[in-house]
Amino acid sequence: MDSEIIASKQRGKPFEKGRSGNPAGRPKGARNRATVAAESLLDGEAEALTRRAIDLALGGDTTALRLCLERLIPPRREREVYIDLPEIKSKEDVLAARNSVLTALSQGLITPSEAVTIVGLIELNIEDQHFNLDNQKSLNIRFV
């Protein structure tokens, strides 16, 4: 008898696939009470607080300076890269292009991740176009 009761109880996932335990759920756009309370306290004070943070930053407070700069200048994700690469017409040109990338890397003109990306693009472009260097087909890749 006890085994029948235990077997009838559902184990594991208690809800049907695609159905939530709370179908009504939290309404879209609903905001956290703490966030709403903080915003109501700061309402109307944003300009004064911003001015104070700027004054502190200008006065030498490094934390305030970092805060101001983080808000003004977003972190850079990618940047334009300018390096001269030879026109690729032969196997030697591919090697010369790689050496140009390594030279730019060693001179600090590009970062290691940028060098990997550029070399990868050179090789990917060659593979994608079924580039056959033995037949002397021309592939013009220029990063300037």
| Residue 17: alpha-carbon gap to chain centroid | 33
pTM (2 decimals)? 0.41
Q: What pLDDT sits at residue 6?
A: 56
Please tell me the number of Cα atoms within 13 Å of 58 on its side-chain side.
Answer: 6
Show me where the domains of the chain are located: 33-72, 79-144
For residues 37-66, give the mean pLDDT: 89
Higher pLDDT: 20 or 101? It is 101
What residues have CB less than 8 Å from 89, skipping those under 6 apart?
136, 137, 138, 139
Checking if the pLDDT of 132 tops 80, the result is no
